[in-house]
Structure 1
Amino acid sequence: MTLRHGRAVGLMVLVTFLWATAGVVTRQLEQAQAFEITFWRSFFTLLSLLVILPLWQGWGVWRRMRQEGWVLWASGACWAVMFTAFMLGLALTSVANVLITLAAGPLFTALVSRLLFRQRLTPRTWGAIAVAGLGIGWMFGQQLDGGHWLGTLVALGAPIGGAVNWNLVQRSQAAGHQVDLVPAVLIGALLSSLFALPLAWPLGASVHDVTLLAGLGLGQLAIPCVLAVLCARSLSPPEMSLLALLEVLFGIALAWLGANEVPQPYVLQGGALVLGALVANEWLGWREREGHYRIQTLVTEHTGDPHELEHPGGRR
């Protein structure tokens, strides 16, 4: 199933809105604490995907999962880190802190690709990483006296886990092995719930809390993840990255309107650096790709060889 570009954009906006509901919903909980919040959301995500996956991909999905290599399980472990760090971060600090920290994921992905896989980064990407790092550092430093620093530190696990995950998936796909991300999400939900359960025991959440967390498992994580996979078939990676930033805006607005959680000035200042670095990096990258594409098109029209730019002595 492939969506038209306009429908994919609209659907991705809906996905980011659903993702953004985690913060405001957790602020309505009565009794559930950090690890129990993490357990119930991951558990209900697992149950939801156990139903959605065979309906979407057929019963053969379980056989294909057993046949997958270690990359699927490594991806699932990364998802588990992301789920756990995100929810624990929400329990320990403000929604804005967590979402802005999470938004730096694409730059963490680039940094991990350099550190672990020696992939060359452009100067603009290094600059964006430096600016975003300043933004996160500014937020972290301003929280040292207020006790919220631990939440930001824990929340950093989400973009770092995501960075390792995307690099593993991309390296596997470059080697000719496609990784199905939705089964990896299911594995991540399983591992996250198994990790959180002993730390959450004995469970003390009210029926009200469990109902809200069940809604998060289905409507904030399971369904949006499936929809995001569909959107990724019609949207380029830069488009996905930029549209995903809407989660930050939606999440802060929902927490502000629905839980009276007003973002602190230092969060807005640090967030402006992080989001500005991301937008500038993606926009400059898009300009470079468009320029290269136009040059290749001109060369093809004049020579019939789209690769002449790469030949020694070719036109530039």
Structure 2
Amino acid sequence: MSDRAVPPLPPAAQASRSEERLGFLLVFLSALFWSFGGTIARFIETPDSWTVIFWRSIWAAVFLFGYMMLRDGLRGTLALFRGMGLPGVAVAVCFATASSSFVVAISYTTVANVVLMQAGVPLIAALLAFIFFRERVAPATWVAIFAVICGVAVMVSDSFDGAVSPVGDGLALLIAFAFSTATVITRRFAHVRMTPATCLGTIIAALFAASQASGFAVSTHDMAWLFTFGALNLGLGLACFASGARHIAAAFAALLGTFETLLGPVWVWLVHGEVPSTRTLVGGAVIFAALLIHIGLEFQRMSRPQRPGVTGLPTPN
């Protein structure tokens, strides 16, 4: 063997790379599951949005609690709830705020405005992580964030009707900040398991929706779709995100979440025949190219030999 042969990675570095890859996969899967939300919502006929939020949150909470029970048992699940502390409560409030505000926001402003605000999540997450925890963001990630924002702007540009609602747009911005904050906290407190926090968030959302809903009766048809909407779309997505976001940089986790914006119109098109506009296709192509290039660069970085004592992830101070 040549003297210049690359030595094997230390066990700690190998674990770091493995966890980073797992985090990447889980966050991508969360965006994939969430991207079916619009398609599933089209099947639900219940007119009261708060009733929909209530049942969606209930089924998500049942799924998440059942998942923790299966994985950790009753004692382990209760220990996780006790151990999440204030960071977990903060994440729970953030997710409850974001999931509830979405429905209210689209009753005041266009979906296009809400989607455009959510495109700023990677930028907000990167800024919050840098300001509060000095988590460095690679130049390539900044470029990808800018490209994604431009792509989403192109996607929704033909939907603007000139109407501006301070309430609706304010809530859309609140969604972006809430999700960004949850992402940064999850990354910062990587030692805290945030699955119970997401479960608590769905319970908070259900309780608030219960105070606003006109009633809780729904058809059998709608209940079946509400189960799918809550357990699989929201609950499974939250479980994947809470488990994966703790292993990768906050900005990168938020950037991967943009796949939800990209894939959502595709599923609606394939299932419901709602053909995307030309601008949606062009903007989607920009987003897809930016994400694909950035993900390729990240995998290339993760495949390079790592110097001893250097971890693959940015370390908050």
Kindly indicate whether the alpha-carbon contact (under 8 Å) linking 2:180 and 2:254 is maintained by their aligned counterparts in 1. no
* CA root-mean-square deviation: 4.3
1:163 and 2:180 matched = yes
Q: Cα–Cα, structure 1 residues 230 and 198, in superposed 2: closer, same or farther, change >3 Å? A: closer
Kindly indicate whether the alpha-carbon contact (under 8 Å) linking 1:140 and 1:152 is maintained by their aligned counterparts in 2. no
Q: 2:125 aligns with which of 87, 109, 112?
A: 109
Q: Aligned-pair distance for 1:171?
A: 2.1
**TM-score of the two chains, using structure 1 as the length reference:** 0.70
Q: 2 CA distance for matches of 1:249 and 1:140? A: 12
Q: Cα–Cα, structure 1 residues 273 and 33, in superposed 2: closer, same or farther, change >3 Å? A: farther
Kindly indicate whether the alpha-carbon contact (under 8 Å) linking 1:28 and 1:259 is maintained by their aligned counterparts in 2. no
Q: 2 CA distance for matches of 1:38 and 1:210? A: 12
1:24 and 2:30 matched = no
Q: Aligned-pair distance for 1:72?
A: 0.8
1:65 and 2:81 matched = yes
Q: Cα–Cα, structure 1 residues 101 and 5, in superposed 2: closer, same or farther, change >3 Å? A: same
Give the equivalent residue in structure 2 for 1:80: 96
Kindly indicate whether the alpha-carbon contact (under 8 Å) linking 1:24 and 1:255 is maintained by their aligned counterparts in 2. yes
Give the equivalent residue in structure 2 for 1:219: 232
1:38 and 2:69 matched = no
Q: Cα–Cα, structure 1 residues 228 and 285, in superposed 2: closer, same or farther, change >3 Å? A: closer
Kindly indicate whether the alpha-carbon contact (under 8 Å) linking 2:156 and 2:280 is maintained by their aligned counterparts in 1. no
Kindly indicate whether the alpha-carbon contact (under 8 Å) linking 1:23 and 1:90 is maintained by their aligned counterparts in 2. no
Q: 2 CA distance for matches of 1:171 and 1:10? A: 19
Give the equivalent residue in structure 2 for 1:172: 189
Q: 2 CA distance for matches of 1:180 and 1:4? A: 14
Give the equivalent residue in structure 1 for 2:8: none
**TM-score of the two chains, using structure 2 as the length reference:** 0.70
2:189 match: secondary structure = helix
* 1:157-306 equivalence runs, <5 A: 157-173=174-190, 178-203=191-216, 205-226=218-239, 247-248=260-261, 250-287=263-300, 293=305, 296=307, 306=308
Deviations 1:208-264 (A, max 9, x none): 32331122211222234445667779x977997787665455432321122222223
Kindly indicate whether the alpha-carbon contact (under 8 Å) linking 1:38 and 1:88 is maintained by their aligned counterparts in 2. no
Kindly indicate whether the alpha-carbon contact (under 8 Å) linking 1:88 and 1:155 is maintained by their aligned counterparts in 2. no
* 1:95-174 equivalence runs, <5 A: 102=118, 105-139=121-155, 142-145=158-161, 154-155=171-172, 157-173=174-190
Give the equivalent residue in structure 1 for 2:313: none
Q: Cα–Cα, structure 1 residues 49 and 148, in superposed 2: closer, same or farther, change >3 Å? A: farther
Q: Aligned-pair distance for 1:27?
A: 0.6
Identical-residue share of aligned pairs (%):
27
Q: 2 CA distance for matches of 1:72 and 1:151? A: 28
Moved more, 196-205 or 82-91: 82-91
- AA partner of residue 56 (structure 1): R
1:55 and 2:77 matched = no
Q: Aligned-pair distance for 1:26?
A: 0.7
Kindly indicate whether the alpha-carbon contact (under 8 Å) linking 2:113 and 2:160 is maintained by their aligned counterparts in 1. no
Q: How many residues align?
A: 290
Q: Cα–Cα, structure 1 residues 139 and 251, in superposed 2: closer, same or farther, change >3 Å? A: closer
Structure 2: where are the runs of 5+ without partners? 1-14, 311-317
Q: Aligned-pair distance for 1:85?
A: 3.9
Structure 1: where are the runs of 5+ without partners? 297-305, 309-316
Kindly indicate whether the alpha-carbon contact (under 8 Å) linking 1:42 and 1:217 is maintained by their aligned counterparts in 2. yes
Q: 1 CA distance for matches of 2:176 and 2:161? A: 24
Moved more, 13-22 or 74-83: 13-22
Q: Aligned-pair distance for 1:165?
A: 1.2
Kindly indicate whether the alpha-carbon contact (under 8 Å) linking 2:122 and 2:255 is maintained by their aligned counterparts in 1. no
Deviations 1:64-92 (A, max 9, x none): 41243200100111221332245556777
